[in-house]
Amino acid sequence: MKILVTGGAGFIGSHIVDAYIDLGHEVRVVDDLSSGRKENLNPKAEFTELNIQDDRIEKLFSNGQFDVVNHHAAQMDVRKSVADPKFDAQINIIGTLNLLENCVRTKVKKIIFASTGGAIYGEQDYFPADEKHPTWPISPYGITKLAGEKYIHYYKEVHGLSHVILRYANVYGPRQNPHGEAGVVAIFSERFLQNSEQPIINGDGKQTRDYVYVGDLVRASVLALDYEKSDIFNIGTSIEADVNKLYRLLNEYTGANVEEFHGPAKAGEQMRSCLSFAKAERILGWKPEVELNQGLKNTVEYFKEKEMT
């Protein structure tokens, strides 16, 4: 297949690009490198440095004649979305619409959309949340991702564009950017290893998330290629872990032995999040395989190797 991966120089997107290329697909990456890195790019993928809102993306689609678009480019920082909702909407809604219009124009067969299970349900009514859980996000980021899902449904109903929407839990693993506000595992790992800046736990640290390893996530995007219907799937572990636990485990695995430090709570952060993967297991044959302890050890090893290079 000819596949376009937006955000393919980023943390998650670059792993998906690697998997698609290993399977023999022809992959083009579009990324504006605002958070993605050239070092993440697979040398066998063609690369275009471009923002997904840019009108020049029309030429990319016309020349590429893609079968599938895997859409991972996004403003994905919940706190940044709270601080600047307009910026968040410009990327996550207008940018997505730009892609969808070009998908229809150039007869793309399918779009795989990276959505959020971690933010789209808001404060959950029950745990773990399945795909039928009410969607009342409490952050602009969650709202724009939900809007993206609704637009994608519209393009299926009106234009026949097939889709697979993957609602991710909190993703962690190698290549995650430790210099943004998102990605507590990466932030803690680097700060523990460098011993230069105190890792800060926001609030009491009892807020829980469903942490899913990036390698497991990639398998979902691979399975979505061959799925012939249009549907929505949660991609998580159904297990909650709080920030205090992450701090203790990463403190141990890095050998840092740094005392816990708590800062103020952050606006727009929900208290608990946990996703059911039962539907993905039943229909796609997907389930998480990497347990949290092993995934955290893998991530720490990645950052250790990075420190030595």
The whole-angstrom separation of Cα 156 and Cα 9 is 28
Distances (CA, A) of 240 to 129, 231, 275: 12, 25, 9
The whole-angstrom separation of Cα 7 and Cα 26 is 16
Which two tokens mark 175? 């290549």
The whole-angstrom separation of Cα 25 and Cα 19 is 9
Per the residue annotation, which of 141, 168, 211, 227 is the catalytic one?
A: 141
Handedness of CA 299, 46, 8, 178 (dihedral sign): positive
Cβ–Cβ under 8 Å, residues 224 and 166: yes
Q: Is 154 a catalytic residue?
A: no
Q: What are phi and psi of 172, to 5 degrees?
A: -145, 165
Which residues carry out catalysis? 141
